[in-house]
Each structure stands twice: as structure tokens, then as C-alpha cells.
Amino acid sequence: FDAKRANVDLRPVATLTGKDGTTTMTGLVVVPTADPAESVADLSGVRLVFGTQECDEKHAAAITLLEKHGIQVPDDLETSQACSEGAISILEEAAQGQRGAAVISSYARPLLEGCGTVEKGALKVVGETEPVRFVEAFVNQSLSAGQRKQITQALIDVTKTAELLKALESRDGFQAIDGAVVAAKKKGMKEGPTAPVLPTSTDTTARDPRPA
């Protein structure tokens, strides 16, 4: 979104795997457990809390899901930056007798309960969006094909070290988005960070949606 506003053409080249090895996540539509809603179709007229526009699983994908089930989405969406904010908000409103639903990231659900942010069993899932990519790395399309390939390879190589995989909470590190992983041959983890040198004057960025 920042790149679009700045008129910079960025394209995703690699995506990070999660602890389970997958590269996607979903948005979960949750309501307080005592709420009568059993599916997304039951949310007509209910307060809806989305994620910000940058989080596809909590915003664009959630809008698509709701509209698919005939729920009218307001033009002026209520959003929360963190999954915890939306979840706590609807629970507090429920205590006052008000109904509400929030969209949270699939990875965040166990974290909210595990960290004690919300009481275990306080929320129930009534809908799930289509999968979207998790963490993506982007490069500027003004770079040459060779530079883009070099950056992609560097991302794949550097995230094969055991130390970085642990820090990134990733099983397999980055994978090329087109599926043709440059370093496709599975190699054993390296025991020290031997990061390849990236080309100079590159323009790269990554989006990590994980803060709950």
C-alpha cells in the first residue's frame, strides 16, 4: 500500500513458511462463545471489527467471505490493528449485552488464549476466509531479472540457518513464490549464519502480519 501510494512497482518473490511448513494463513471470524451465531450468515446487523487494509486475511478476504454469505459490509469499516484489540473489544461489548464479531488471523487464535489475552474458550469461530500468503518479500521491478533472482536466492539461502529459522519461527525458511524454489534440493541446516551478500542499491521489503 505504501509502495502504491509512492508509485513504486513492487512484486512478491518469496514467501516465508510457518512452523508447520505452510506459506498461507486465513482470517477467522470469531464471536463470543455465548453468541447465538453459528455461521457467517448469522451476522446480519452485528457489529463487525476487521483488520487494517494491509492485512488481507482480516480485511479484503474477510469482506469477500461476508458478502458471499449475504452480509452487508458498511462503507466505513471498523478496524483494529492487532487481533487482540478486536477480540477484547467484542468480549467487552458482550458483557454489556451487545453483539459483535471480529476477524483475527488464524495464527493468532492459539496465541490469544495461550498468552492469557482472552480466556480459553471465550471465543468461537463462525467463519474462515480463503487462504492468503503469510509473510512475503517484495522487490522493486526496476531491478534487472538477474538482481531479482539473486535477491530471491539470497533470501532462501540465508533462512536455512538453524539460528534464523528459530528466530523467524519458520520450518523451511523462505520459498520462491512461483514454486520453483531456487534451492529446491533440501540440504541440512547450516550451523552458523553464513548470509550471502545482497546486491547493492536493491529495493526490498517484507510484510509480517504476525503481531497479535
Q: Encode pLDDT of 137-163 as tens digits.
A: 999 988 898 998 999 999 899 888 899
3-22 mean pLDDT: 84
What cell numbers appear for 61 in the block? 478476504
Domain boundaries, the chain: 2-22+135-207, 26-132
pLDDT digits 0-9 by tens, 21-66:
999 999 999 999 999 999 999 999 999 999 999 899 999 999 999 9
pLDDT at 19: 86
pLDDT-wise least confident of 110-114, 118-122, 166-170, 202-206? 202-206
**Contact (CB, 8 A) for 181 and 14:** no
**Contact (CB, 8 A) for 1 and 54:** yes
- Give first-to-last CA distance, the chain, whole Å: 21
Pairing of strands 78-80, 132-133: unpaired
CATH class of 26-132: alpha beta
**CA 207, 57, 13, 21: dihedral to nearest 10 degrees?**
100
